[in-house]
Amino acid sequence: MPETSRRGLLFGTAAVSAGALLTACTSNEPKKSETAQSNQPAADDKPGKPVTIGFAGPQADHGWLNAINENAKSRAAKYSEVTLEITEGSNDTAAQIGQVKTLINKKVDVLVILPADGKALTQVGLEAMKAGIPVVNLDRIFASPQAYRCWVGGDNYGMGLNAGTYIGEQLKDKANAKVVELAGIDNLELTKQRSQGFADALKNYPNIKLVARQAADFTVESGQAKMAQLLQAQKKFDALWNHDDDQGVGALRAIQQAGRDEFLMVGGAGAKSAMDAIKADNSVLKATVLYPPTMAASAIDLARALGQGKGIGGLAELEIPTSLTLYSAVVTKENIDQYLPTGFS
């Protein structure tokens, strides 16, 4: 994935996917001579004091998860004073707990953790915080706010809401429009949030009805199998929302094999393959709703700021916020060139 700008903190905003500049602000304890300028952000391109960041990320068995790890590593490499202690990614909670404990014992300055299971890793997050190591909780949230100093992640409800609104606007003048939904893993809270946002958006369009829904498993194979079932059951519909671009690769295969093209498709997450298809405009895929893996780069920026006692440029506060929710922009052929550099493989 192309590296983001050194000073860009990507929040996935509608402007340029960069909602704020994470720059070195004044110290939390400014010297007297600096007090007059304490509300002015300084440039962030100069190295600060050395910071060791421990990163416990996921197993890279999915395009988005791999992009999370790559964003963290490439961002840390931009800072000469940052040392990244990265663990081998794991989806096993016990293994990940052990990895985080190892980082705590190494006395890293800050921890960035994308937990395999937020609830299961809450205790080790609390352990780190009690040891005086600030934790940046990435995406899957811990069960207690005391287990992290800052949370940064995507807006799953917003994904569904924006996907539904986009589809609603495309079909608002069509009588008795029908839509189908290819969801992710149903027992995950994020899937429930995405579906709820989608359902809430469609309430604003009484002419549109959700006629079918299938849950897949965020894999190409599951996407193809579940989409084939939807196509067989629904002989004609007007729009499809697919929660995940990885499983969307399989869904598109099933659609092409069935020779169906009477509907428009909206994807989810922002994979490069989806963006390429949108730009080519030669398939049913017309849009994707972002869930930016650049959040990992932002987490490194935040961890660096925490380790150096800085805040965020552009904000009056001396401390970084307790949470940052990324915006789920809708990417179409009209704005594809703006977002294409953020697409992940």
| CA torsion, ordered 148, 149, 152, 156, to nearest 10 deg | 50
Residue pLDDT, tens place only, 84-143: 999 988 889 999 999 999 999 999 999 999 999 999 999 999 999 999 999 999 999 999
Per residue in 42-70, pLDDT tens? 335 578 899 999 999 988 888 899 999 99
Is residue 36 one of the residues assigned to a domain? yes
Cα Dmax for the chain: 73
Is 201 within a domain? yes
In a domain, 14, yes or no: no
180 domain-assigned: yes
> Within this chain, do residues 56 and 147 fall inside the same structural domain, yes or no?
yes
Question: How many domains are contained in the chain?
Answer: 2
Verify that 297 and 255 share a domain, yes or no: no
Same domain, 30 and 149: yes
* Residue 86, phi-psi category: left (phi > 0), alpha (psi -120 to 50), beta (remainder): beta
Q: Which residues pair with 324 in a beta bridge?
A: 152
- C-alpha torsion 213→217→223→227, nearest 10: -20
Domain final position from 244, 274, 290: 290
Measure the CA–CA gap between 315 and 312, rounded to whole angstroms.
Answer: 6
The pLDDT tens digits for 164-206 are 999 999 999 999 999 999 999 998 889 999 999 999 999 999 9
Does 132 share its domain with 76?
yes
Q: Which two tokens stand for residue 124?
A: 């080790």
Domain interval for residue 43: 20-154+293-326
What CATH number did the domain enclosing 86 receive? 3.40.50.2300
**Residues 131 and 185 grouped into a single domain:** no
Q: What is the pTM of this model?
A: 0.82
